[in-house]
Structure 1
């Protein structure tokens, strides 16, 4: 079982490479994990959810790269 911790916004920004506004826009669009309230003026994100989001994004990117590789294009043409 992966240890779960809570990340604050600067840590989420570092892990994802996204800006503050991009993170909140993605939350609003439903494409990024929702933050959890830590107090009156503090929020955080579960680290495992952020890591899963990153893994899904990189997995999709790798599939896109693989499907556009020259060997895949040749295979498509020969069908």
Structure 2
């Protein structure tokens, strides 16, 4: 069985679709794709010919980094995206 794994915790990867990404970050479709293309947001993963999704843990990590930035706290992940 071929399952995607996260290198850090050996947990299964959970993919989420655009509507859930939009709910989690509060941005619209265009903004999400623009930020991803500029390296400012996690990039989508191609699942099929016309199907993409995002890795939920990456989106949540981005949220945490933005919160830390807004609160004036250092975040290791905010510079690496």
TM-score, normalising length: structure 2 = 0.73
Counterparts of 1:14 and 1:41 in 2: how far apart (Å)? 22
Partner of 1:69: none
Q: Please, which runs of 5 or more residues in structure 1 have no aligned partner?
A: 65-79
Aligned-pair Cα RMSD in Å: 1.5
The residue that corresponds to 2:17 in the other structure is 8
Structure 2 runs not aligned, ≥5 long: 1-8, 74-81
Once the two structures are TM-superposed, the CA of residue 11 in structure 1 deviates from its matched residue by 0.5
- Runs of 4 or more, structure 1, over 3 Å off, are 1-4
For normalisation by structure 1, the TM-score amounts to: 0.75
2:43 corresponds in structure 1 to: 34
Q: Which has the higher contact order (CA 8 A, sep 6+)?
A: 1
Aligned residues: 64
* 1:45 aligns with one of 54, 61, 79: 54
Compare CA radii of gyration and give the structure with the larger one: 1
